[in-house]
Structure 1
């Protein structure tokens, strides 16, 4: 008697159905056994310490390698207890089990690398490929950071960039990875956590002052403005990094589509493009820009240019509610609200300027200027503010050169 065909799908059919219904959201959390679990973290500033500490706090933590940009940091690590300590709500928690390597950025002159390093590799795996890299250094140091490890990155690798400002990836593609076929995959993140390092003599200690979130997005390998609506296929390493970071409760990390993530980036950029340079010029905390009509007029001139550029971007063309979301009035509300909430805080740009370090103004106000020029707009107010911030930084650098150094070196700082 012939067997009747089963009314239920067979195992092979179920596999095909599951493959057809494999959405981008489920793909983000799918397991990828072929990707090495080791994660490299370049930059042990406040955000770097938070990321590394959180990774080792997982139930089944991945191997984590810290990449130091100075031999003095490596010496300090070896002299200490080889751990990162994070304080939150008065409680200190120490995490250990890290591997460490030295990755000194080569000297760059006239947009070219001049390798003057005499140091020998400090670890046997110093030349092994890097599959998963998280860069938490400032935007101004990202080029040098990736220049130090670019020979260890492959097209299958993923680089996760966590920093302020925009336009860093365009700069990386021009200077470090000019060949699209060999450049790594990118993930970008926007961090709202607030941390500080009260004791500069303890480079591996930080205070988690305010908990926030991290918005993440895997970016397409081409230009987002060329195909803004295109879906982004997840590289295995990108999927692994997204799944790992979003699975850490302390970070509060969430993945977003590239366009939605860009809107969040632009909102933060608009806030930073007003608060940061104004506080540098006033040399005062964030709250100093409030209740001062002369400063408010300057703020509105900056916001008028910022709003016009953002609302004209080709990546956002045709999206609903863009005109209202990035109107000058709403952006002013965001700026005032942020300045009021952080009225006693010193902006990161002001802290860099006071120390004579290179600021991120070219990736904040400079991004508005460059995108405006692409569309035939001259953003004179933002250009002037960018030049004033850089001029003040240069002035402080010259003053510092005339002083006799008597304090302890900032091990986490980068040379300008």
Structure 2
């Protein structure tokens, strides 16, 4: 089978980080970039803002700009006009978008993706690849190649400008090429295609690409996974800010239970046993102090998960607590605290969705109590739900 390596990269998402990577790729010789966007305003603003992506420092000083092509719309292939040819194959994809948008987006692009496609997922959680394969690529022979990524570059929006990004702090891009499970020629070609995408990104020095093997990638990523599955989870469960967890003995107890269970689970990961000294670092008191210090460093900030729940959107708990629960089941460890936490967070999302749906002309007094998620509504009546309360 011939190996075709393309130097074009498609970026899915219109987040500041997605635009930062599109800007960096556009400035790299011999590489081309194309943004795939969901919303029509992205295309209109492209022309208004000079058809360029601009990068500014934290103080507002101009750094650089790069000319880009007009964003290509992501549309359901079933809705295309007759006689209009299908778009070209996608060879290299970088995804940084809302978690809930990833599966629908890839489903709409399914006809442009095959085993020669490499998808780089910039996502803070773990376990998303399994869900993508199960939902969209059930045939192992037709699955794309995957690269997991985690970025520590800090960027932000500039109000009123869709194609300008504020570069707040330099960081690194950690990448891990996921090997294909089958031991065939396709597996070897797939790894070469994944490495090709990693090498292309590494040619842009400003991205500070750091390729890692699986064990080291997991070891680097796990502390952030544990923090979100404990602190962010407790924040949503109780509707409180980070700074309110420590002084509240009940919130603190919840977080400790989740933290201890998470440490027990990750310390048993088979892929980490090749680095016993690294596993030992999770079990030491210093790691727990590190988690507390990071919690205190958040100050009075509100968890980003709370912002999602306020809007009636589910936070990515399936790829934090849910990942720990799935791995615990594989290993044979009880994960009762994280399973309970998942149920409580999803219950809060469900309740908030109901609250927003039943609001009439904005008359509901949201945010009038101390719950950071919202509230102020009277408790729902049993007849509001199709549930037999007598049998519960």
The TM-score normalised by the length of structure 1 is 0.76
Aligned to 2:349: 393
Aligned counterpart in structure 2 of residue 171 of structure 1, from 131, 139, 154: 131
Aligned counterpart in structure 1 of residue 262 of structure 2, from 297, 306, 330: 306
Establish whether residue 276 from structure 1 lines up as the match of residue 247 from structure 2. no
The 2-side partners of 1:180 and 1:218 are apart by 17
Relative contact order: is structure 1 or structure 2 higher (C-alpha 8 Å, sep ≥ 6)? 1
SS at match of 2:244: helix
Establish whether residue 96 from structure 1 lines up as the match of residue 67 from structure 2. yes
- Structure 2: 5+ residue runs without aligned partners? 363-392
Aligned to 1:45: 15
Establish whether residue 150 from structure 1 lines up as the match of residue 110 from structure 2. yes
Aligned to 1:209: 168
1:1-400 equivalent positions in 2, closer than 5 A: 35-58=5-28, 60=29, 62-90=31-59, 91-92=61-62, 93-104=64-75, 118=79, 120=81, 127-197=87-157, 199=159, 202-222=161-181, 235-327=191-283, 329-400=285-356
**Does the 8 Å CA contact 1:270/1:303 hold for their aligned counterparts?**
yes
The 1-side partners of 2:247 and 2:188 are apart by 45
Aligned to 1:19: none
How far 1:310 moved relative to its partner? Answer: 0.9
Instruction: Decide whether aligned partners of structure 1 residues 204 and 296 sit closer, same or farther in structure 2, where only a CA change above 3 A counts.
Output: same
**Does the 8 Å CA contact 1:307/1:328 hold for their aligned counterparts?**
no
Instruction: Decide whether aligned partners of structure 1 residues 203 and 244 sit closer, same or farther in structure 2, where only a CA change above 3 A counts.
Output: same
**How many residue pairs get matched?**
354
SS at match of 1:154: coil
SS at match of 1:48: helix
Structure with higher helix content: 2
Deviates more, 1:292-301 or 1:154-163: 292-301
Instruction: Decide whether aligned partners of structure 1 residues 170 and 317 sit closer, same or farther in structure 2, where only a CA change above 3 A counts.
Output: same
The 2-side partners of 1:55 and 1:347 are apart by 31
Q: What does the per-residue CA deviation read over 1:14-48, in whole Å, with 9 as the maximum and x for residues that have no partner? A: xxxxxxxxxxxxxxxxxxx9522110001111221
Superposed CA RMSD in Å reads: 2.9
Aligned to 1:21: none
SS at match of 1:204: strand
SS at match of 1:321: helix
**Does the 8 Å CA contact 1:129/1:152 hold for their aligned counterparts?**
yes
The 2-side partners of 1:274 and 1:342 are apart by 14
Q: What does the per-residue CA deviation read over 1:147-182, in whole Å, with 9 as the maximum and x for residues that have no partner? A: 121211121221111011110011111111111111
The 2-side partners of 1:329 and 1:62 are apart by 47
The 1-side partners of 2:241 and 2:55 are apart by 25
- Structure 1: 5+ residue runs without aligned partners? 1-32, 107-114, 406-416
